[in-house]
Structure 1
Amino acid sequence: MAPASTSERYRILLVILVVVTLPITTCLLWFNYAAVVLVEQRKRLTASKLRQPENRTILITGTDNAFGLNLARAFHKAGYKVIGADSRAGSPSSIAKRSRAVSKHYDLPRRFAGDEAPYVARSLFVIARREAPCLWIDCSNDLSQEIVADARSEIESGMSCKCLVLDSTISDRLSKRDTLLELLSTNGLPSPEFHKVKSRAQIHKILNHAPGQKKYLLGSPERDGSPTPRTLLPQRTLSQTYNKVSLVKVAEQSPMVLEESTESLKIYQCLAVVVRGSVDFFVARPKSELRHEPLLPDSGLWRAMRTYTNSMARLLDLSSSHLVLHFGLNEQVTQAGVLQQILLIECNTRVDPTFVLSIARKDFDDLSRVYRTLLERHTNGNIKSSSGDFAKSAITFTADQSRISRQQYLLPDELITQLIRPCIEFIYHPTRPRHVLSSLYIFMYRLLLWDEAYYDFWDPLPAFWHYSLVFLWKTFLR
């Protein structure tokens, strides 16, 4: 039997640690319940609901992930009734079912691939018809775009409900790399070079006019949204480049795609909420597994990506939706210094749940207000809000320096990176006590502030111990 890797040892120690501390966490859970009852949190929420007689029901698909759950808590805090729906097929590890922020939770059925889209879309329509929500927000990452688009057409045609979902035609064009780059270049937005070549001579012409360090990928156009194998050009020598191109089958009837390679660029991931063609919420972060802190809004790079996204939403006539964008930072050395240019290399409309780690919990209140601008309506040329406690027509995301250190986190990951791993490294390298003390300080600081992504003090989960074991077991298997 092969010995366990270092990461597997960390996870085994993590599971043992949680099992040993299970009685303590259970006692803390009951203390949490007592504290919530004493401050009469429910009475305050009920009072806010009584001031709002209009329909205040929100349907959120994807409440089982951290992003959807935090959004449901923000709406619940504002006095809305939240209906959750997930395709977990009655999973016992569902967190949304045990949250007080979700008034009712539905399990969406899972069907075979052939009839999945119409069946699940019809199920979503039945849920919406039964609960009569005024707004539907899709935060799921497992429902296909076809299901979401079919459900949107049925809901908007059969009832008065706003949907934060893009049209299926526009969504398909944005998700496919070939059509995305073609859209960007047509509208004059900076993007990686993209050429449809119909002869080998055209390929050589583009390579000869390119700067010395620029690389290209040559391949067939995407089929059904799936990427195709690509060849990196130019090769190390001129003869190798000519040999590679000579092996390519290219003709007038079957053109190839030659696009700029972005593998060497530093990638930034952005989440934008577009409301009526305008970006009202925007957060950006470096795409890294170890770092989730967002860029500061006063940085030049943040403003450049925000401006780019706003121009894209306006030029492409995008309606209300989520946009997850991947920007590549291209650096060019000039006589005056280093010139930085951002290039959009990927775009989709599905929310990445890990973005919850880049957004402070208090900022979800601002995010919920942005969603609620969809409920505003025009009366005699003036904007009248259907949500009485919110009358602003434009909300922009703001964050200050002090909030950056208060980002949310996942407790199992923090236990591994800030507690278990430094202690094990100190055993093998006793000359690093400063590193261990720094990690312990960060862990205790976050533990005392308790900004965990799933667990909220005002919304204690009835099965916190069960959630811990299930979540840790998934962490152990991944």
Structure 2
Amino acid sequence: MRPCFSSPEIRKPNQDNLTVMVTGVGMAKGLLIARSFWLKGYKVIGADFESDGTWVIGRFSHAIAKFYSLKHPTEFGGNTNSYTEQLLDIIEQERVALWISCSGVSSAEEDGMAKDEIEKRSSCHAVQFSGDQVKTLHRKDSFSQLALEIGLAGPKATTVTTVEEAMEFLNHTPTSAKYLAKSVILNDLSRTSQILLPLTTREDTKSYLDTLEISSSHPWLLQQYVNGTEFMTHSFVQNGELKAFIACESKDVLMHYRPMPVDDPLFQSMLKYTSVFLSRLSYSTTFTGHLGFDFLVEQSWDETGSKAKLYPIECNPRVQTNVLLFEDEMHLVDLYLSTLGNAPTKRLERAVDIYSQPSKTGYYWIGHDLVTLCFVPFVNVLLRKLSVLEFLYGLREFLEHVLFWKDGTFCIYDPFPWWWLYHGYWPSIFLRSILRRSAWSQVNVSTGKVFDC
């Protein structure tokens, strides 16, 4: 039975007396891991950023014994040492033995650097890649270069630091080739851009590139465009060995998660890529943490598999929301605990490879579906921009999710984070946007992220 739909009486007392800290509990992925440890009987300390003063959902979780509000590294002027110190203060005060980092995109590198210092100065163990490892994998340009070096290259790509460099590269590409410009550093404005370069004329291309503010301090990656379906994977790696693996279809802002069948040839191809990637890393024996890839498949997969070509386009060295798809989070907790040097082997009651047991259930967020499948389509029907039949199709999908899927935040025994998400968190976010007159293009209900225009 799934933990989020189980009675709290199934919580098991543990004999280890370990305290676990989970950061990122304001997101569904962090909350899932915190709840799973709590169900195993462990004391869970939660922490997350509340930079704008809006309380996150993890603050209200029954599974979290104590919540700490963290200052984002940017609030320290980019001083990673100050960010690390606040984590160390919590670890020492709460006697934390294990830290599970559920980094967001904006703090992935800082959490990696914090891991190095925390394990050096305390007895706490971190399930997190090191700072150098995260930096290499997290940044689009360095990951592209690493993949090329180990013989697992993705689409053709080059890094540019000036508009002139970009123009020179585009001028020497085949006429049939098109490229996407991707910011190497975090940038909301470019993450969903699908403008294909070069444009019709040199003047149009240069005018567009001028808007990107390309510089040595803000490099951009020109990556060859692949017209295909996007997929994402998530895995847990311990000392370079793949211990857990999941895959699903993806998109820019993914709010519906359904696991791919394990016997799907495409699933097996992505699993093989991940395994080979790990085997070719020079530092694989010290490589412990969460690893995911974004892939593009150029054509639809057929029974022979001969028509599909897999292109790795990004690497995500952190926990991703599709961690929800693991059928057995309890065993995932055992994997985390096994990273401790003194962890009893009896915790691992069966084989550690759990990639063969994905959930058959899809995940959704009811707040997102109410807006995108019900409210907006209904308004469009009134405005005669959508037919009644199309509206009914969307309504049928909404009812299917409500009846047969699972909300990614809701738990019967821990309902208050879900309640706060829609009655406190998002109303506060939208009210602040109105008062500040700040424009946004998309929101991600599962992570609480707002994407600026």
**Given the alignment of the two structures, is residue 95 of structure 1 paired with residue 50 of structure 2, yes or no?**
no
Corresponding residue of 1:420: 375
The letter for the 2-side match of 1:398 is: S
Q: Quickly say closer, same or farther: Cα 1:369–1:258, change in 2 above 3 A.
A: closer
Corresponding residue of 1:294: 259
**Partner SS, residue 126 of structure 2:** strand
The letter for the 2-side match of 1:60 is: V
Contact 1:56 1:81 in 2 (8 A): yes
Corresponding residue of 1:371: 336
- Aligned partners of 2:397 and 2:300: how far apart in 1? 37
1:114-129 equivalences in 2 (<5 Å) = 114=77, 116-129=79-92
The size of the alignment, in residue pairs, is 401
Cα deviation, residue 130, structure 1: 2.1
**Given the alignment of the two structures, is residue 65 of structure 1 paired with residue 23 of structure 2, yes or no?**
no
**Partner SS, residue 279 of structure 1:** strand
Cα deviation, residue 72, structure 1: 0.8
- Aligned partners of 1:308 and 1:426: how far apart in 2? 45
The TM-score with structure 1 as length reference comes to 0.69
**Given the alignment of the two structures, is residue 345 of structure 1 paired with residue 313 of structure 2, yes or no?**
yes
Which string of whole-angstrom CA distances, capped at 9 and with x for unpartnered residues, describes residues 123-148 of structure 1? 10121122222321111316634531
Contact 1:139 1:350 in 2 (8 A): yes
Which string of whole-angstrom CA distances, capped at 9 and with x for unpartnered residues, describes residues 208-235 of structure 1? xx6x74446799xx987889xxx97778
- Aligned partners of 2:221 and 2:370: how far apart in 1? 46
Contact 1:90 1:107 in 2 (8 A): no
Cα deviation, residue 339, structure 1: 2.9
Corresponding residue of 1:249: none
Q: Quickly say closer, same or farther: Cα 1:468–1:180, change in 2 above 3 A.
A: closer
Q: Quickly say closer, same or farther: Cα 1:475–1:338, change in 2 above 3 A.
A: farther
1:36-115 equivalences in 2 (<5 Å) = 41-42=8-9, 44-45=10-11, 48-49=12-13, 52-88=14-50, 91=53, 93-110=55-72, 112-114=75-77
Comparing 122-131 with 439-448, which one deviates more in the overlay? 439-448
Cα deviation, residue 315, structure 1: 0.9
Corresponding residue of 1:177: 140
**Given the alignment of the two structures, is residue 189 of structure 1 paired with residue 152 of structure 2, yes or no?**
yes
Which string of whole-angstrom CA distances, capped at 9 and with x for unpartnered residues, describes residues 290-334 of structure 1? 65323222211111111101111221134111223221223499x
Cα deviation, residue 173, structure 1: 1.8
**Given the alignment of the two structures, is residue 398 of structure 1 paired with residue 325 of structure 2, yes or no?**
no
Cα deviation, residue 343, structure 1: 1.7
Cα deviation, residue 68, structure 1: 0.5
Tell me which of 407, 414, 435 is aligned to 1:452: 407
- Aligned partners of 1:160 and 1:179: how far apart in 2? 32
Contact 1:55 1:133 in 2 (8 A): no
Q: Report the aligned-residue RMSD.
A: 4.5
The letter for the 2-side match of 1:96 is: G
In structure 1, list runs of 5 or more residues that go unmatched.
1-34, 245-255, 378-384
Cα deviation, residue 416, structure 1: 1.9
Cα deviation, residue 63, structure 1: 0.7
Contact 2:54 2:428 in 1 (8 A): no
The letter for the 2-side match of 1:469 is: H
Comparing 160-169 with 282-291, which one deviates more in the overlay? 282-291
Contact 1:83 1:103 in 2 (8 A): yes
The letter for the 2-side match of 1:470 is: G
- Aligned partners of 2:157 and 2:385: how far apart in 1? 53
Q: Which structure has the larger Rg over C-alpha atoms?
A: 1
The letter for the 1-side match of 2:265 is: G
The letter for the 2-side match of 1:300 is: P
**Given the alignment of the two structures, is residue 149 of structure 1 paired with residue 112 of structure 2, yes or no?**
yes
- Aligned partners of 1:223 and 1:370: how far apart in 2? 32
- Aligned partners of 1:65 and 1:472: how far apart in 2? 13
The letter for the 1-side match of 2:135 is: D
Corresponding residue of 1:262: 225
**Partner SS, residue 87 of structure 2:** helix
Corresponding residue of 2:273: 308
Contact 2:112 2:130 in 1 (8 A): yes
The letter for the 1-side match of 2:365 is: L
Corresponding residue of 2:209: none
Contact 1:296 1:399 in 2 (8 A): no
In structure 2, list runs of 5 or more residues that go unmatched.
207-218, 434-442, 444-453
The TM-score with structure 2 as length reference comes to 0.72
Cα deviation, residue 56, structure 1: 2.6
**Partner SS, residue 21 of structure 2:** strand
Corresponding residue of 2:290: 322
Comparing 443-452 with 344-353, which one deviates more in the overlay? 443-452
Equivalent pairs: percent with the same residue? 24
- Aligned partners of 2:223 and 2:52: how far apart in 1? 45
- Aligned partners of 1:299 and 1:292: how far apart in 2? 16
Q: Quickly say closer, same or farther: Cα 1:178–1:115, change in 2 above 3 A.
A: closer
**Partner SS, residue 144 of structure 1:** helix
**Partner SS, residue 374 of structure 1:** coil
**Partner SS, residue 340 of structure 1:** coil
- Aligned partners of 2:17 and 2:318: how far apart in 1? 27
**Partner SS, residue 166 of structure 1:** coil
Comparing 279-288 with 72-81, which one deviates more in the overlay? 279-288
Cα deviation, residue 168, structure 1: 1.5
**Given the alignment of the two structures, is residue 386 of structure 1 paired with residue 340 of structure 2, yes or no?**
no
Cα deviation, residue 459, structure 1: 1.3
Q: Quickly say closer, same or farther: Cα 1:194–1:444, change in 2 above 3 A.
A: closer
Contact 2:26 2:57 in 1 (8 A): yes
**Partner SS, residue 105 of structure 1:** strand
Which string of whole-angstrom CA distances, capped at 9 and with x for unpartnered residues, describes residues 376-405 of structure 1? 65xxxxxxx4375434452322346xx54x
The letter for the 2-side match of 1:303 is: Q
**Partner SS, residue 406 of structure 2:** coil
**Partner SS, residue 298 of structure 1:** coil
Contact 1:83 1:102 in 2 (8 A): yes
Cα deviation, residue 450, structure 1: 7.5
Cα deviation, residue 425, structure 1: 5.2
